[in-house]
Amino acid sequence: MNISSILFYAISAFILGAGILAVTSVKIFRAAIWLLFSLVGIAALYFWMQVEFIAAIQIVVYVGGIVVLIIFSIFLTQNSGKEMKSTPNGKKIFSALAALFGTAFIHNLIVHYDGFAFNSAEPFNPSVDEIGTQMLSTTSHGFILPFEVVSMLLLAAMIGCIVIAMRPAQSNSETTT
């Protein structure tokens, strides 16, 4: 049990605890804050796995973007201090049983699967230099095509959001002229 394992268990407990509180908290604003802590914990797990670029992206996009967007929409749509309508207990018990069964099933599968071909001979080099070169290269390991497709997707999502959230024009505006 060295310091790295202790760090891993601490980060995992933090992620799972914050995640459980995020889905069970009765106040919606507190749920959003617990989600924020869970996402920060996942970024810490990426730092622990030494993929610093993904961790930075996680913090910038999720913590700085999506959670802030969710908090804004909570403020826009409802009273954030109010308690939410609670679900019936039977449904809660059924859902908890389904989740526990799923966790146990996958846990069992992972424990009894020993076909992982570990490859620790070659170095793992996730530097920003390497990621950037590979993302924009057109060779067989390049990712230029998904990169361009994702840029079109972001443009489409942006225009779609503006069109959906736009207040509809007054219907009698042209008749009054």
Partner 1 sequence: MQEIPLTQILFVSTALFFIGMYGLFTRRNLITMLMSIELMLNSVNINFVAFNKYLFPNNLDGLFFTLFIITIAAAEAAVAIAIIINLYRSHNSIDVDDATEMKY
Q: Is 157 in the site for partner 1 (CB under 8 A)?
A: yes
Q: Is 4 in the site for partner 1 (CB under 8 A)?
A: yes
Among 10, 49, 136, 144, contact with partner 1 (rule: CB under 8 A): 49
Query: What is the separation, in whole angstroms, between the first and last Cα of the chain?
Result: 79
Cross-strand partners of 27: 83
Nearest-approach distance from CB 172 to partner 1, in angstroms? 19
Q: How far apart are CA 31 and CA 17, in angstroms?
A: 12
Q: 3-state DSSP call for residue 83?
A: strand
- Contact 135/147 with Cβ under 8 angstroms? yes
Among 47, 56, 63, 74, contact with partner 1 (rule: CB under 8 A): 74
Q: Is 79 in the site for partner 1 (CB under 8 A)?
A: no
Among 37, 47, 62, 172, contact with partner 1 (rule: CB under 8 A): 62
Q: Is 73 in the site for partner 1 (CB under 8 A)?
A: yes
**CA pseudo-torsion sign 127, 157, 167, 72:** negative
Q: How far apart are CA 21 and CA 41, in angstroms?
A: 14
Q: Is 59 in the site for partner 1 (CB under 8 A)?
A: no
Helices (H), the chain: 3-24, 28-48, 52-57, 67-77, 89-112, 128-135, 144-165
Q: Is 165 in the site for partner 1 (CB under 8 A)?
A: yes
Q: Which CB sits closer to partner 1, 5 or 138? A: 5
Among 10, 144, 146, 148, contact with partner 1 (rule: CB under 8 A): 146
Q: Is 31 in the site for partner 1 (CB under 8 A)?
A: yes
Cα–Cα–Cα angle for 161, 164, 167, rounded to 5 degrees: 120
Q: Which CB sits closer to partner 1, 118 or 177? A: 118
Among 52, 79, 129, 134, contact with partner 1 (rule: CB under 8 A): 134
Q: Under rule CB under 8 A, which residues in 92-121 are in contact with partner 1?
A: 92, 94-96, 98-100, 102-103, 106-107, 110-111, 116-120
Amino acid of residue 37: F
